[in-house]
């Protein structure tokens, strides 16, 4: 089999960990497989480099920032290749540029265009373990680019897709995807199998195990993805979580997981004239400023005016508020207000497609806890509610219990 193994920052965080990873890579090869390794920077290194940049420049040039942070992965792959060689295997490290992983030129959030898979294949045929730097590529001019925080996941899936790998194993410090954040819900359970679509919803709703874009790529190219712990020990399930195509079993499960986030802010534009073009103007202005809007609610109009509420990433709150204020004045709305202290709780499950009443049950569970719902948004397989931030954990626990997601007693 051809196996891509990705190791996150904590998995290569110390010299001992690097040796442990090297042993696993070599062992996998000795079992008769072809092995491509993708690694993140040692834990803390990317943050350290970004901090350094900020000390030098308050608003660092993005091309230079990418050139700087990409060095984190260059260190870890070189160290890992050394460790693998010392165990008697043939290994070599590669930067994104060296495997010709070409991206667009959107520094700090570049998108992958192509990978030179022939070069990787020929090295594999020679028995080499390739150790590829995650998170980075080069644009068509040869500038170093990076793929956004957590981007090594995306490198791994893209390499697996290009090589049509049999498996892409994402080694991390947790042993899989959980039914809720175990830090919030002590009875959270590891999920054995989850569909790409469910994982996509969870990743976009705040579950941080996988970078969102890596799941998008895995879905598009049908890469079998496994989230698995690189730490072995008691209580760690070596099977991890398999992210794969939906099957009949999954459809039977109404709710697969509960996720939450506290990284949004709500903005409300009051008494907007109810006529064509107003929403387009408001959200057009936000889109132009690269602000992604999530939940949108428009009230029924009274006297030809409506209230328009929406959420934006908290980091864009100030910018969004200012822009909304400008548009509100221009279209004759009465004013703008906002709340930075909102939380979002969501339930995700493939079974919702074919079962009615799941949303109603969610609202009922929240009502029983006295949690007021401010906004609601749904897709075929998820329901999200915006609530007061301080009730987020309470809401997650109530939903996790109420939908019976906990460990079997």
Handedness of CA 44, 48, 54, 55 (dihedral sign): positive
Considering only residues 145, 152, 229, 392, which one is a binding residue for ligand ASP as defined by CB under 6 A?
152
Indicate which of Mg ion, ligand ASP, none lies near residue 179 (CB less than 5 to 8 Å, by partner kind): none
Query: Minimum Å distance from CB 134 to ligand ASP?
Result: 5
- Distance in angstroms (rounded) separating the CA atoms of residues 31 and 127: 13
Structure tokens at 106: 């959107």
Residue whose CB is less far from ligand ASP, 135 or 403: 135
Segment holding 138, helix H or strand E:
strand 136-138
Indicate which of ligand ASP, Mg ion, none lies near residue 46 (CB less than 5 to 8 Å, by partner kind): ligand ASP
Considering only residues 13, 72, 97, 150, which one is a binding residue for Mg ion as defined by CB under 5 A?
150
The contact mask relative to ligand ASP for 233-262 (x = CB under 6 A, - = no) is ------------------------------
Indicate which of ligand ASP, Mg ion, none lies near residue 181 (CB less than 5 to 8 Å, by partner kind): none
Considering only residues 5, 10, 11, 40, which one is a binding residue for ligand ASP as defined by CB under 6 A?
40
The contact mask relative to ligand ASP for 179-198 (x = CB under 6 A, - = no) is --------------------
CA 147 from centre of chain: 12
Question: Coil, helix or strand for 188?
Answer: coil
Q: Is 154 exposed, middle or buried (0-12, 13-18, 19+ CB in 10 A)?
A: buried
Identify whether the C-beta of residue 395 lies closer than 8 Å to the C-beta of residue 346. Answer: no
Closest CB to Mg ion: residue number:
150
Residue whose CB is less far from ligand ASP, 97 or 343: 97
Residues 114-143 binding ligand ASP (CB under 6 A) are 134-135
Residue the block writes with tokens 């609601």 = 376
- What are 267's strand-pairing partners? 310, 338
Query: Minimum Å distance from CB 11 to ligand ASP?
Result: 10
Q: What share of the chain is helix, strand, coil (3-state, %, to 5)?
A: 40, 25, 35
Query: Minimum Å distance from CB 21 to ligand ASP?
Result: 14
Indicate which of Mg ion, ligand ASP, none lies near residue 72 (CB less than 5 to 8 Å, by partner kind): ligand ASP
Closest CA to 181 of 170, 192, 189, 193: 189
Contact range with ligand ASP by CB under 6 A, out of 114-122, 148-156, 291-299, 390-398: 148-156
Considering only residues 11, 29, 34, 46, which one is a binding residue for ligand ASP as defined by CB under 6 A?
46
Give 294-320 as a DSSP string.
--EEEPPPBTTEEEEEEEEEGGGHHHH
Residue the block writes with tokens 């001992």 = 16
Contact range with Mg ion by CB under 5 A, out of 49-57, 58-66, 146-154, 282-290: 146-154
- Distance in angstroms (rounded) separating the CA atoms of residues 237 and 148: 29
Indicate which of ligand ASP, Mg ion, none lies near residue 41 (CB less than 5 to 8 Å, by partner kind): ligand ASP
Q: Does 149 bind ligand ASP (CB under 6 A)?
A: yes
**Residue count, binding to ligand ASP (CB under 6 A):** 12
Handedness of CA 134, 135, 139, 144 (dihedral sign): negative
The contact mask relative to ligand ASP for 72-111 (x = CB under 6 A, - = no) is x---------------------------------------
The torsion angles phi and psi of 152, rounded to 5 degrees, stand at -65, -30
Instruction: For strands 375-379 and 335-339, give the pairing.
Output: unpaired
Q: How many Cα neighbours within 13 Å face the side chain of 220?
A: 12
Structure tokens at 258: 């509960």
Q: Could you list the residues that contact ligand ASP (CB under 6 A)? A: 9, 40-41, 46, 72, 134-135, 149-153
Q: Could you list the residues that contact Mg ion (CB under 5 A)? A: 8, 150
């Amino acid at each position: 089999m051809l196996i891509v193994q990705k190791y996150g920052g904590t998995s290569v965080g110390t010299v001992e960990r690097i040796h442990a990873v090297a042993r696993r890579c070599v062992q996998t090869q000795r079992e008769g497989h072809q092995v491509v390794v993708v690694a993140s920077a040692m834990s803390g290194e990317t943050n350290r480099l970004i901090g350094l940049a900020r000390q030098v420049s308050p608003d660092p040039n993005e091309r230079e920032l990418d050139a700087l942070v990409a060095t984190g992965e260059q260190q870890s792959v070189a160290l890992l290749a050394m460790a693998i060689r010392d165990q008697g295997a043939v290994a070599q490290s590669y930067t994104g540029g060296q495997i010709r992983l070409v991206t667009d030129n959107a520094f700090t959030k570049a998108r992958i265009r192509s990978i030179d898979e022939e070069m990787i294949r020929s090295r594999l045929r020679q028995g080499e373990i390739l150790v590829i730097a995650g998170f980075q590529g080069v644009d068509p001019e040869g500038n170093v680019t990076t793929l956004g925080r957590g981007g090594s996941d995306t490198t791994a899936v893209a390499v697996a897709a290009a090589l049509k790998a049999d498996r892409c194993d994402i080694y991390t410090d947790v042993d899989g995807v959980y039914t809720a954040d175990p830090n919030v819900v002590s009875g959270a359970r590891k999920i054995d199998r989850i569909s790409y679509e469910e994982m996509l919803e969870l990743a976009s709703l705040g579950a941080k195990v996988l970078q969102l874009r890596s799941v998008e790529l895995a879905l598009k190219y049908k890469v079998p993805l496994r989230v698995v712990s690189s730490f072995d020990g008691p209580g760690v399930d070596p099977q991890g979580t398999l992210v794969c195509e939906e099957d009949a079993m999954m459809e039977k499960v109404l709710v697969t997981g509960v996720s939450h986030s506290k990284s949004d802010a709500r903005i409300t534009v009051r008494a907007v004239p109810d006529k064509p073009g107003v929403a387009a103007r408001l959200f057009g202005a936000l889109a132009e400023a690269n602000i992604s809007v999530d939940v949108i609610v428009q009230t029924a109009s009274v006297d030809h005016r409506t209230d328009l509420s929406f959420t934006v990433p908290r980091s864009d709150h100030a910018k969004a508020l200012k822009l909304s204020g400008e548009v509100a004045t221009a279209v004759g709305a009465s004013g703008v207000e906002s709340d930075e202290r909102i939380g979002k709780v969501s339930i995700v499950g493939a079974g919702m497609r074919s079962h009615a009443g799941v949303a109603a049950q969610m609202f009922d569970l929240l009502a029983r806890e006295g949690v007021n719902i401010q906004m609601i948004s749904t897709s075929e397989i998820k329901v999200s509610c915006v609530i007061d931030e301080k009730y987020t954990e309470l809401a997650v626990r109530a939903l996790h219990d109420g939908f019976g997601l906990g460990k079997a007693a």
